Structure 1
Amino acid sequence: MTGYQIASLPLTAAQSGIWLAQRLQPANPLFNIAEYIDIHGEIDPALFENALRRTVAEADTLRIRLLEEDGRAAQRVEEHIDWTLPFIDVSHEDDPRAVAESHMRAEMRRPVDPTTGPLFAFALFKAADDRYLWYQRYHHIVMDGLGLSLIGRRVAELYTALAAGLPCPEAPFGSLAELLDDEAAYRDSDRFTRDRAYWTARFAERPAATSLADRTPALPERLERRTAFLDEPTLAGLRATAREAEVSWPAVLVAAFGVYLHRMTGNRQVVLGLPAMARSTGRARTIPGMMSNVLPFRLDLHPGTTVAQAVRLASKELHSALKHQRYRAEDLRRDLELSGDEHRLVGPHINIVMVDYDLTFGGHRGTVHNLGGGPVDDLSLVVDGRAATERGRPGSGESASGGLRIDLDGNPELYGPERLADHQRRLLDLLGHFAHAAPDTPIGRIDLLAPEERERVLGEWNATARKVPDSSLPELFQAQAARTPQAPAVVFEGRTLTYAELNGRANRLAHLLIGHGAGPESLVALSVPRSDEMIVALLAILKAGAAYLPVDPGYPAERIAYMLGDAEPALVLTATGDTAGGDGPTSLRLDAPETAERLAGQP
């Protein structure tokens, strides 16, 4: 028995997050998730639609309607829902798959209102007599990555039975109400309390989210994607690195991405976003729906960390984080009192998809192609470890060498095509280092720069030679004062000095300093609060031909004494209340009455 009436159900915590985000940006299509399955063989479109309609009838989440009741979001499972399955023949095109993908991406970019149904879309493309592409798109509020695999398997299972004339296997899905019961039981359990204690302790220091962007990310309406395939030798090397460190090989991928962020930003504490299914074992894992969570994955690194140490750190963190994966990031943000975009919990995401659908449709193999995994405001690295796609087809741009598919999805407002391509190349190079470098190699010694980038940094950016006036700074200032004597030069707390006034006061003080022994090859310490007087003194020291040593009068007395003892200035300029000069070198209090009298007599 469930604790809910079928007429109206609350949202899962994951659904609530999507609901609020979509309501803030109702026209944003980035809340769609989509993929297509390449079926390598001839199928019967009518039988396929039959299998698909049976699956929709079995899966509660595909028949929900979102509504608001008393100001709160709720959902209702409909008995029946109207939808169509477009059948599109692209087999006559020069590149059928490219044309089909263009249709898919156009449909995926269509905003979907979660209060209207259906919250999914399907299409079947005929690419050849023996090649069909099944497109499926869902609003993220009804489906996550695990749900996609459950739907795909069920359609394949039903189609296979129908094509063979066999009875359809019993529906494997539980109800949406069961999924809600499971979540409610978790949130009332000791496990929830233990998970909360783990995460609040792990992030008690509130480390800043790491980003490769130079601006605060905001959710875009599309993502820029770069796709590459990791060759088999590199993949074999990564597996060998994992064996050497006695960890699972996905830990190597996570470690490498963390090291990349550490090296590119200099941050020693790197916090990634790690998508997780966030379901208990058993029944909840058989129910399509939206339950996934994004875990804050933290790695503490420094340049001396070795490759093997980084991999073991990542493995240990993966093990701990996944043990507590049901505690939601939204709850942790509240626990840590984080609010707004300026208090981000995670930076770029890394999503390692390791579930092989192992799909067959009436004996014909199906391979899965991800098109979009939902909202990302910064950068997302998607490593697809499922069945390899076909390589080397005309116009595909795919490698003929096989290997692991790696997608880099970036917010186009932060990462343009060229910048995204640079990150992709460096990441692939770094994975090569992790595959072939000695385990005791310090990560700070791994070179991320291509030869042309190194030349740009060391040569081009430092090629700053240019002709400059053969004049000193005081001479340049004197010329400016002559050109604009009445223009404001310094403004401080309502007081304004013109260029003429500043020049005159600095000249008088410079004469006084010279009388105290200041000049070329000597040093004058300047220990006065930030003020217009400080600017006068700084310019006067330069006019006298000396160099200045800034000393913050707010420093501890011991530090000031050390600085003055080490530098041995000829003179220390101070103000009333400042004891920086001590009993050491000669000091001159700029605001003392006798100093004012002496300045008045200077030229």
Structure 2
Amino acid sequence: RPARASHQGGQVEVDLGADLFERITVLARSEGCTPFMVVHAALVAALTRLGAGPDLAIGSPAAGRGEPVLQDLVGFFVNTLVLRTSSAGDPSFRDLLRRVRTADLDAFAHQEAPFDLVLEAVNPTRSLSRHPLFQISLGLEVGGVPELRLPGVRTAEVSGLVNGAAKFDLEFLLRSDDSRGLHGAIVFAAELFDEESVRRVASVLGRVLAQVLDDPALPLSSLEVLSTSERELLTGPWAGTVAEVGDATLVERFEEQVARRPEATALLDGTREVSYAELNAMANRWAHHLRAHGLGRGDMAGVLLERGVEFAAAVIAVVKAGAGYTLLDPDFPDERLRSAAADAGISHLVTAPALAGRVDGPWQTHTEPPGELLSHHPGNLGLPLGPDDPACLMFTSGSTGRPKAILSSHRNLVSTVSGQSYGLFGAGEVFL
């Protein structure tokens, strides 16, 4: 989006079929709403599925002729309404339609409130790059265009892109009449969209309408927005070659490497070199210790350690014990460490004595020095694990400012380095 909108526009014609509006009218009647509300809900559903998010404010023109004395006056009384709807929670289309009905009825009940006064009351942050309250507009006209007869004047209907300017990012100008069904145009900001993208938006709207008219109980997540050719493209040429990952877990892959090259260097920590056999024995002792204290399959453990050999051994030990791990970075503030540990639902914390006091909670804390672990067996545990068992809980920064967690399985993490073309993962490669 440029810093200052040029308002240069383009236009795409839309034809959604001759019988579609008749079916829209039937659904509207059964749900106690108007055809406009059905189209509005379908547009919200389509935009949500295309990635626009669950909070959508869509502008719509109102005729401004609510008073009978205005009916026969020549003049421009149009006011703009902002119809804000939430599609959060994966509602069925019927439930979404009820939300839209509530929002639209409330907006049209206040349609006399001038838009400029609404804008003044809301007082949003202004920008020369976009409209302040909405970026997408929807208009729907039903029936034919009335004939205007004036003495000595020839009149003609003009619609869509008249002067090459686009007022909004996208403007849906739809009409239903007996001759062509539901049709119209989409005017778009040429700096933001190209014709092909807008044609796809139009096709998705038509596809969504067809699906929800067949089954209004469909949840939004079940709406198919890809055509057959698009799905074939995504799962075929764009997906690349398929690598067989198999069902091996992280534990199995690591222990296979230990058996294959036990004396090979697994870790470099400053001047310290640790072989695969040594690392495996350290991790096994930790894993036996954690198992003895109740850590098991499906549990979550936090690892709060400075980077080094002990850190790597602890991560491997947690996975060998059947649990998933979440990394708690000592560089983070204590508050973030505590919230991450609580959100992850850890039952055990593996840490060092100097760090143990930073994260207190209802979990077990393990800070046993290496000497006390020597009493545990260094052999593999041989626990039954599956590729879909949780292995790692990773926190992102979070778009809202609160970190969000992503749970990855053994299959996810094994596939990250199996059969990939973006990097080499063979012997002799070193990673930081």
- What TM bracket, shorter-length normalisation? 0.5 to 0.7
1:444 correspondence with 2:231: no
2:64 and 2:111 in contact (8 A); partners too: yes
Residues 306-327 of structure 1 deviation map (CA, whole Å, 9 limit, x = unaligned): 3334334333332221221232
1:358 partner letter: E
* 8 Å Cα contact 1:276/1:295 also seen in 2: yes
Q: How big is the shift at 1:543?
A: 11
SS state at 2:335 partner: coil
Per the alignment, residue 366 of structure 2 pairs with 586
1:411 aligns with 2:189: yes
The size of the alignment, in residue pairs, is 322
The secondary structure found in structure 1 opposite 2:358 is coil
Confirm or deny: 8 A CA contact 2:304 2:327 kept in the other structure.
yes
Tell me by how many angstroms 1:407 deviates.
0.7
User: Judging changes above 3 Å, is the alpha-carbon distance between structure 1 residues 542 and 272 closer, same or farther for their aligned structure 2 residues?
Assistant: farther
Question: Where does residue 75 of structure 2 map in the other structure?
Answer: 288
Residue matched to 1:233: 19
Q: What is the Cα deviation at residue 448 of structure 1?
A: 1.8
Aligned to 1:408, the other structure's residue is in SS state strand
Among 306, 314, 327, the residue aligned to 1:550? 327
Could you say which structure has the larger radius of gyration? Answer: 1
| Secondary structure at 1:370 match in 2 | coil
Is 1:384 paired with 2:384? no
Is the 1:279–1:326 Cα contact (8 Å) retained in structure 2? no
In the TM superposition, residue 420 of structure 1 has moved relative to its aligned partner by 1.2
Gaps of 5+ in 2: 245-252, 255-266, 291-300, 320-324, 370-432
Identity of aligned residues (%): 16
Per the TM alignment, residue 350 of structure 1 is displaced from its structure 2 partner at its CA by 0.4
The one of 204, 217, 221 aligned to 2:7? 221
- 1:526–1:538: 8 Å Cα contact kept in structure 2? no
Q: Secondary structure at the match of 2:282?
A: coil
2:133 maps to 345
SS state of the match for residue 258, structure 1? helix
Does the 8 Å CA contact 2:356/2:367 hold for their aligned counterparts? no
Contact 2:9 2:188 in 1 (8 A): yes
Check 1:380–1:571 CA distance in 2 against 1; reply closer, same or farther (3 A cut): same
Q: 1:304 to 1:335 in 2, by over 3 A?
A: same
Q: Mapping of 1:184-263 within 5 angstroms?
A: 219-263=5-49
Instruction: Please state how far the C-alpha of 1:362 moved relative to its aligned partner.
Output: 8.4
Distance 1:538 1:217 in 2: 50
Residues 356 and 385, structure 1, Cα contact 8 Å, conserved in 2: no
> Could you tell me how far apart the structure 2 residues matched to 1:292 and 1:409 are?
19
Change (3 A) 1:527 1:539: closer
Normalized per residue, the structure richer in helix is 1
Stretches of structure 1 that go unaligned for 5 or more consecutive residues are 1-214, 389-401, 473-501, 529-533, 590-603
1:217-242 Cα shifts (integer Å, max 9, x gaps): 96333212110223222222112212
Q: How far did 1:559 drift?
A: 7.0
Alignment of 1:20-59 (within 5 A): none
Please give the alpha-carbon distance, in whole angstroms, between the structure 2 residues aligned to 1:411 and 1:319: 29
| Partner deviation per Cα, 1:295-338 (whole Å, 9 max, x = no partner) | 21022334653333433433333222122123244433443341
- Choose which of 261, 270, 282 in structure 2 pairs with 1:517: 282
TM-score normalized by structure 1? 0.44
Query: Which letter does structure 2 place at the counterpart of 1:368?
Result: E
How much does 1:517 deviate?
3.2
Which residue of 331, 335, 340 corresponds with 2:121? 335
SS state at 1:311 partner:
helix
**Which amino acid in structure 2 is aligned with residue 587 of structure 1?**
T
Cα shift readout 1:578-598 (whole Å, capped 9, x = no counterpart): 245999453279xxxxxxxxx
2:206 aligned with 1:428, yes or no? yes
- TM-score, normalised by the number of residues in structure 2: 0.59
d(CA) in 2 for partners of 1:515, 1:429: 55
Aligned to 2:51: 265
Match of 1:296, SS state, is strand
Cα-to-partner distance string for 1:184-210 (whole Å, 9 max, x where unaligned): xxxxxxxxxxxxxxxxxxxxxxxxxxx
Corresponding residue SS for 1:372:
coil
Match in the other structure for 1:318: 104
Residues 343, 551 of structure 1: CA spacing in aligned structure 2 closer, same or farther, 3 A cutoff?
farther
Aligned CA-pair RMSD: 4.7
